[in-house]
Amino acid sequence: MQKHDDVVHEISTSASSDAAFKILREEAHRLGMENVSWVMKPPVAFEDGKIATFDSYAPEWRAHYFENNYLACDPTVKHGLTSMQPLLWSQTKALAPEFWEDADSFGLRVGFAQSLWDRHGCCSMLSLSRDRVEFSQSELISKLPQLAWLALIAHTGMIRHIIPAETINAPASLSRRETQTLQLVSTGLTSQQVADRLRVTKATIDRHMEAVRSKLHAENKVDAVVKAIRWGLI
């Protein structure tokens, strides 16, 4: 995959949801996957209320999926609405054999999915798939962390094009030192490396990052960087 901070910056500054999704497709291909799907269920308070869907599937499968209302019975979607545990498609095939037999006829056979919820009530799920070759244990060990990271980037990067920023809380301003710290963190430096660069202790940097995460309502460092770029804070 590209250097993480490059991907974060690209998707956070993308001009549209289609441009952001194109970046996700490129990252999926780097992971050896042929198809990518991203689905987002907005907060209950969001007046539109529609589920947003983006995918690179064949138009025939997309039409077939919605004509048969598979969104209501897709076992991966059901899982994503109740758990943030990564999911292999093979784990659900016994639960919906007819659905998977249908998907198989369109070349959708091997995949995994990662869902993510945030404190604002947004729920999204990223799915990556390929035609053949089940995942080996070693491949899962190496790729599942990358899938989780990509799901987080997709969530924060895509949502800004779909839900107005004010709907999910505008951020507070950052202090000069918090801004410096976050700028250095966004380049991939560790807390200790940032501390060395600014000639302070690691504990001080950790306090700055905790303040940043609190102000931006961020789940972690990556989320903080994405949101700060989104709102022009760094």
Convert the pLDDT of each residue in 187-224 to its tens digit: 888 999 999 999 999 999 999 999 999 988 888 888 88
pTM recorded for the entire structure? 0.69
Q: Quick count: other Cβ atoms within 10 Å of Cβ 58?
A: 13
Beta strands in the chain (DSSP E): 35-41, 52-55, 87-88, 110-117, 123-130
Please report, for the chain, the start and end positions of each structural domain, with discontinuous segments joined by +. 4-166, 171-230
CA–CA distance, 87 with 197 (Å, rounded to integer): 40
CA–CA distance, 192 with 94 (Å, rounded to integer): 48
Q: Give the C-alpha distances (Å, rounded to integers) separating 143 from 16, 28, 111, 155, 163.
A: 27, 11, 12, 18, 29
pLDDT in tens, 112-130: 999 988 766 788 999 999 9
Determine how β-strand 123-130 pairs with β-strand 35-41.
antiparallel
Instruction: For 171-230, give the CATH class.
Output: mainly alpha
Inter-residue contact 112 to 88 (CB < 8 Å): yes
What is the average pLDDT across 141-154?
88
Please name the CATH architecture into which domain 4-166 falls. 2-Layer Sandwich (3.30)
